[in-house]
Structure 1
Amino acid sequence: MPVKNKSRRTRLIVIGFVILLVAGIGFGSWWSVDTVRSSFPQTTGTIKLKGLTGPVQVKRDSSGVPQIYAATSEDLFRAQGFVQAQDRFYEMDVRRHLTSGRLSEMFGSSTVETDAFLRTLGWRKIAQQEYDTKLSASTKKYLQAYSDGVNAYLADHSGASLSVEYAALGFVNDYKPEKWTPVDSVAWLKAMAWDLRGNMQDEIDRSLLTSRLSAQQIDQLYPPYPYSRNQPIVDDSAITTKTTSTASTATTATTTSAATAASNVESQLSSLSDTLDEIPALLGPSGNGIGSNSWVISGAYTTTGKPLLANDPHLAPQMPSLWYQMGLHCTTVSSACPFDVSGYTFSGMPGVVIGHNADIAWGMTNLGADVTDLYLEKVTSDTYLYDGKQKKFSSHKETIKVAGGADRTITVRSTNNGPVISDRDDELLKVGDEAPVTTSAPDRGDGYAVSLRWTALTASKTMDAVFEIDTATDWTSFRAAAKDFAVPSQNLIYADTAGNIGYQAPGQVPIRAKGDGRYPAPGWDSGYRWTKYIPYDEMPTEYNPARGYIVTANQAVVNASKYPYLLTEDWGYGTRSQRITNLIKTKINDGGLISMDDMQEMQNDSSSEIAKLLVPILTKIDIKDDKGDYIRDAQKLLETWDYNQDSDSAAAAYFNAVWRNTLKLAFGNKLPKELRPEGQCLTVPATDQSGPVDDLDGKSQLVRECGERAADQAQPDGGDRWFEVVRNILNDKTSEWWVTSPTAFYDKDSDKPRTTRDQLLAEAMKDARYELTSKLGKDIDSWSWGRLHKLNLKNQTLGISGPTVVKWLLNRGPWNVGGGEAAVNATGWNAAGGYDVVWVPSMRMVVSLADFDKSRWINLTGASGHAYNAHYSDQTTKWAKGELLPWAFSAKAVTASTSDTLALTP
């Protein structure tokens, strides 16, 4: 939430001063220290909790992680709400204001545009529909009990006793948190689904690329999945789909038609992309790079004789961590109180999302199914075209309340495809102004708009699924629970104490009559509507595969040629998944058994797969160096490198700089202006609808084009899609992509020299040497990857846009870390913006099905959301070192690890 005006900045300076005052920094005020400590949770003694029917125990270990014991389900979730509010209420409150489009009530005018966009999507309204019409009676009962627990905490806490942030907010406005509701919890699932929504950005970017690149060139930048090299999750033999009659009929013709229509609204799509970039990234940076690892190994190949299961979701680093560790235990497990579960939860939502109970364990990674489609709409002021007829928009008004400012009222319009999201940007109101008329689209008339169809905008039963998974006891009940997990579509892995392992793909995945979802579709043609969802019984699944293991890391789920439905064409490219698979296979083929330590070591594997491809070429290039061995000394670092991206590795630092500069030279400087960094200007040939525009001498006219995108969104991000792009051109030393000059690239008759692969790579090595000299110094021996590759943890509100002193108080870091982009230890960085860590293994767990008390886990930060609490970031240093903490589960083990016990009584 960036600072956008002086009044906003003034308010934040005041907030910073108040936080300093409350914290007692520089004032030596003992009462101020006591004030900030007043928000810390009471973890010992006794508290009366309104609504309880019996006593509840909250046992916390030395990391502050709570295990709750209650006699009834309602008491269990009432206590969960109370305890999470103790540790994380500010985080919970910000989240519910985000999901309901009400951030401006807390933070003023700077968040109005975000609120307007989220009101247009209508997350909160869909969550209300789910609660009213879809969820079971037991789920509603649990949600209400959770809300009652939160509200019991709020009844006795306000201002500074809630958190230091509220003390500051209360000083600059009259904001006071309102009561928690069940719908506040349900709405968080929409935020999850948004950040895991699939390929919307790819749809936009492919369309924008049509302004400069040919269809063949665009396809080169989005290559097909390498099925022959990187194994999908599910073997062909496991595909048992019963019918192919309703499979997608996407064809090149329909895709081309949609792409042509999309090219008519380049300015609108570019502006929409910028609008999407402004929406706070809850789980990952603008939805890009979101990935995860999970794998499960049969007991036949483990040292315990029972399955081992690992999971580490890759999400945006933030303070506090997105996850909250917790155990929920009925003192006597029965049908009336069926919970005995431990794992990772979301603050603000009851239940456990990832973890294990007494019988099964499960993990999740993002399936990446294409569950969003953008539709181009031919519009007038109050109608849109559909199958040759004008239809009225459905519309309603929304009022956004703004702290310290005037209310703002917006009109939300929808077509039969979905909400018109282009209404939320001033530039998008000029729809069609620059669009050429083509045969694939109606006359632009008043212009075009952009609407969104998305599975999460249909009410579902995902909240039911959370509780059903928590209480599942075997594969049959687990699959039945997964059926209700509608959005976001996930890869679910499974293991049980009986020795079984499995995989299930749940979720609502649309079937399209025409089109493949790669480009925005013509909204005026009903042929591009969704027809139905893939039947659950025909979603990919696998149980006890003969190979003895299952790996999911965002790769293709199934071989597209063997499966009759289209899940997506925008998979991750399998770099991480195949590395994990190879590590497992090597161990098994060598006759060894896999231990808990082996699983943990795999999670920390930092091997660079793109380095294995490029380094043998880089080390053979003859460097022409007019400064003696200045470049050659850096090149020598690669000759003995083992490809591991350890924090102290100088070679890893240099290689990643070479990779970044290679991408910039080969691809980034050839992108259309809509995808280049704002302010970056290039001289390129002029074009119109028919192609290049020639001058009187037959040479292409040249124009100066300046970039329009934010710097961190403009260049290739360096992920494993780019690994595949480079792999496919690596043996073609004269590929047009190796041309370093944009003018020579666009204008084949250019007088500019046409460089080859080795010339471009030599230039990238030279640029990398100079870049690292400026960043790390001239002495190569002092270089390290960790000095470039830093993790900073930021409070997601004041820690991002507050004054420097506030950031210092609320944020933590940096940590110098190893790992890297598309490594198993996926401390991802965006080559467009630099080397800082932008997504991480947000938690790690390894579960032993032979003895749950031998399981291990770690969180990115800590249990507490209070900036000065001992558990604010106490797990981060261990996390950075790849360490895991013991994970007690049985009552005996929990008691042995307990540091504090709190009694909650009626």
Structure 2
Amino acid sequence: GRYLTPDGSAAFMTREEIIEVRGAAPVRLTVRATRHGPVLSDVLPEGTAESGYVLALQTSFLDPDDRTADALWNINRARDWAGFRAALADIVGPQQNIVYADTGGTIGFIAPARIPIRKGGNGWMPVPGWTGAYDWAGYIPFDELPQATDPPAGHFASANNKIVPESYPYFVSRDWDLPNRVERIEELLGAEPRQSLAASAAMQADTVSIMARRLMPLMTQIQPEGDLAREAVERLRGWDFRMDADRVEPLLFTAWLRAFAHSVLFGRLGNAAADIWDLKPLVMETVLTQHREWCADPQHPNDTCEARLAAALEDAMARLRDSYGPQMAQWQWGRAHIARFSNQFLGRIPVIRDWIAVAVPTPGGYDTLNRGPSTIRDDAHPYEQRFGAGLRIVTDMAAPADSHMMAVPGQSGNPLSPHFSDLLLRWRQFDWLVPGRAAAVNTLVLEPAR
């Protein structure tokens, strides 16, 4: 077959890939590629690309000269910031926020990767590949990537937040996280600028939700009619915005915001909201402060935000009663916010899946430093923790050997090992290990097959 380019048609490049399968015949795949990269629509569900078109992927980490592995090797052998930064010039992808500190007092930040400069568009959505109008024109020069050394503030803070100003001349991403966590980091550093191991560890365990702190004064302005609704609003008005596992307020707030966001977004967008709706705290804050007309919709043109909030609160409480009991005191965050550690292979096998199940109630939430977001669109388990910090480290560069660390759920990947999940509760409680302080109780040796 052939495909269209700016210079006419061209033949697809093809290669055969063989996947060996133990106990079965090998699987043979013919991979097609265009001048931009592999054709993904050949292996994606039918209808991904319209008839007569293909969907191809161009990405820098498929370039044949990718030296990312070399960069990772060399940064572990760098002796100073200059050597560390030079090693990172070989990073192709994926782009990461990388921070640096040394015993001499130098700190640095850089987000290295081979980021394309496009003739048109920003790469966020598929574009016509046959015109050349969206082709790459080069890469962002390494010296112009986001980076800094020894800032006047004396620290760097990184929490998936936007790392470039509006004036930055290149497109890096549009998928930034809420600025809430980095805002909270700055608050805590401002309160205690001279950090200790204990202060830094406490920062990682922090459960204050900036989202709740901003939205609660807006949401609790309503005057509820029922006794239970009045109790809920009074609880939330006195809340300190900490997403602690033993508190009722975190679940009450999250369930209420979930119901309100669902009501507003589906009322305004209809079924188009099905795949995109979430808590959307910035959107809901904007609705309540600047665009209150969004609380009305074609089916309810006279609705007010107060009416929507009151109805959403009743809906949320009804669901909480059904799931957690009739008394509000039963609606503790830890009953809903549970971190599950599923085995990607054994977790698919009945009986065994339940036998090796690892789960623990956790604090934290959507935008807290003790990270614990949920998949709000999941009607069955909307508040379960979906991801978080699998590895935590706190290091004082004046005494690196005393670094505090914790991994979860345990150090062994073998479900039969007593060390498969023995760190689970210590992780939840922000207990720490200091490597080298105790003798190893087990040693795992990996040997190549003979």
Q: What's the TM-score, normalizing by structure 2?
A: 0.91
Alignment check: 8 A CA contact 1:635 1:765 kept: no
Alignment check: 8 A CA contact 1:491 1:503 kept: yes
- Quote the offset at 1:776 in angstroms: 0.9
- Quote the offset at 1:407 in angstroms: 5.4
Hey, what does 1:831 align to over in structure 2?
376
- Separation in 1, partners of 2:221, 2:370: 29
Distance change (3 Å), C-alpha of 1:536 and 1:615: same
Distance change (3 Å), C-alpha of 1:715 and 1:765: farther
- Separation in 1, partners of 2:24, 2:278: 38
- Separation in 2, partners of 1:899, 1:566: 48
Alignment check: 8 A CA contact 2:262 2:278 kept: no
Structure 1 residues 659-738: aligned runs within 5 Å: 659-668=257-266, 673=271, 676=274, 714-718=275-279, 722-732=280-290, 734-736=292-294, 738=295
Structure 1 residues 20-35: aligned runs within 5 Å: none
Hey, what does 2:328 align to over in structure 1?
780
Distance change (3 Å), C-alpha of 1:404 and 1:902: closer
Structure 1 residues 375-774: aligned runs within 5 Å: 382-387=1-6, 389-400=8-19, 408-428=27-47, 431-432=49-50, 446-459=51-64, 460-561=66-167, 563-588=168-193, 593-625=194-226, 629-668=227-266, 673=271, 676=274, 714-718=275-279, 722-732=280-290, 734-736=292-294, 738-739=295-296, 744=298, 752-774=300-322
Residue 217 of structure 2 aligns to which amino acid in structure 1?
P
Structure having the higher Rg: 1
- Separation in 2, partners of 1:671, 1:636: 32
Structure 1 residues 258-269: aligned runs within 5 Å: none
Distance change (3 Å), C-alpha of 1:660 and 1:564: same
Distance change (3 Å), C-alpha of 1:788 and 1:477: same
Residue 243 of structure 2 aligns to which amino acid in structure 1?
Q
- Separation in 1, partners of 2:130, 2:70: 36
- Quote the offset at 1:817 in angstroms: 0.5
The higher-RCO structure (CA 8 Å, 6+ apart) is 1
- Separation in 2, partners of 1:647, 1:729: 29
- Quote the offset at 1:426 in angstroms: 4.0
Alignment check: 8 A CA contact 2:265 2:273 kept: no
Deviation track 1:169-188 (CA, whole Å, cap 9, x = no partner) reads xxxxxxxxxxxxxxxxxxxx
Distance change (3 Å), C-alpha of 1:585 and 1:407: same
- Quote the offset at 1:412 in angstroms: 2.1
Alignment check: 8 A CA contact 1:733 1:758 kept: no
Distance change (3 Å), C-alpha of 1:515 and 1:779: same
Distance change (3 Å), C-alpha of 1:505 and 1:734: closer
- Quote the offset at 1:725 in angstroms: 2.1
Distance change (3 Å), C-alpha of 1:670 and 1:544: same
- Separation in 2, partners of 1:488, 1:426: 26
Aligned residue for 1:395, secondary structure, equals strand
Distance change (3 Å), C-alpha of 1:662 and 1:406: farther
Matched, 1:850 2:395: no
- Separation in 1, partners of 2:204, 2:163: 21
Alignment check: 8 A CA contact 1:733 1:756 kept: no
Residue 427 of structure 1 aligns to which amino acid in structure 2?
E
- Residue in structure 2 matching 1:897, options 438, 441, 445: 438
- Separation in 2, partners of 1:903, 1:555: 38
- Separation in 1, partners of 2:228, 2:440: 57
- Separation in 1, partners of 2:273, 2:285: 23
Hey, what does 1:819 align to over in structure 2?
364
Distance change (3 Å), C-alpha of 1:832 and 1:668: farther
- Separation in 2, partners of 1:672, 1:519: 23
Q: Give the CA RMSD over aligned residues.
A: 2.3
Deviation track 1:251-287 (CA, whole Å, cap 9, x = no partner) reads xxxxxxxxxxxxxxxxxxxxxxxxxxxxxxxxxxxxx
- Separation in 1, partners of 2:271, 2:52: 22
Matched, 1:865 2:413: yes
Aligned residue for 1:493, secondary structure, equals strand
- Separation in 1, partners of 2:80, 2:154: 18
Matched, 1:808 2:354: yes
Residue 123 of structure 2 aligns to which amino acid in structure 1?
G
Aligned residue for 1:413, secondary structure, equals strand
Deviation track 1:496-522 (CA, whole Å, cap 9, x = no partner) reads 111111112211111111112333222
Deviation track 1:593-621 (CA, whole Å, cap 9, x = no partner) reads 32111101110111111111211122220
- Separation in 2, partners of 1:426, 1:567: 29
Distance change (3 Å), C-alpha of 1:754 and 1:510: farther
What is the number of residues matched between the two proteins?
A: 441
- Quote the offset at 1:900 in angstroms: 4.6
Alignment check: 8 A CA contact 1:468 1:481 kept: yes
- Quote the offset at 1:403 in angstroms: 6.0
Aligned residue for 1:526, secondary structure, equals coil
Hey, what does 1:326 align to over in structure 2?
none
The share of aligned pairs that are identical, in percent, is 32
Aligned residue for 2:192, secondary structure, equals helix
- Separation in 2, partners of 1:499, 1:733: 48
Moved more, 660-669 or 869-878: 660-669
- Separation in 1, partners of 2:311, 2:439: 58
List alignment gaps of at least 5 residues for structure 1.
1-381, 433-445, 677-713, 745-749, 888-893
Alignment check: 8 A CA contact 1:715 1:831 kept: no
Alignment check: 8 A CA contact 2:178 2:367 kept: no
Residue 820 of structure 1 aligns to which amino acid in structure 2?
G
Distance change (3 Å), C-alpha of 1:786 and 1:472: same
- Quote the offset at 1:447 in angstroms: 3.2
Aligned residue for 2:311, secondary structure, equals helix
Hey, what does 2:448 align to over in structure 1?
none
Aligned residue for 2:253, secondary structure, equals helix
- Separation in 1, partners of 2:355, 2:125: 45
Deviation track 1:425-446 (CA, whole Å, cap 9, x = no partner) reads 34226x43xxxxxxxxxxxxx4
Distance change (3 Å), C-alpha of 1:818 and 1:482: same
Residue 759 of structure 1 aligns to which amino acid in structure 2?
A
- Quote the offset at 1:451 in angstroms: 1.6
Q: What's the TM-score, normalizing by structure 1?
A: 0.47
Hey, what does 1:885 align to over in structure 2?
433
- Quote the offset at 1:899 in angstroms: 4.1
Deviation track 1:722-762 (CA, whole Å, cap 9, x = no partner) reads 222223332135323x23x6xx2xxxxx6x44422222221
- Quote the offset at 1:902 in angstroms: 7.0
Distance change (3 Å), C-alpha of 1:494 and 1:387: same
More strand by share: 1
Aligned residue for 1:385, secondary structure, equals strand
Aligned residue for 1:633, secondary structure, equals helix
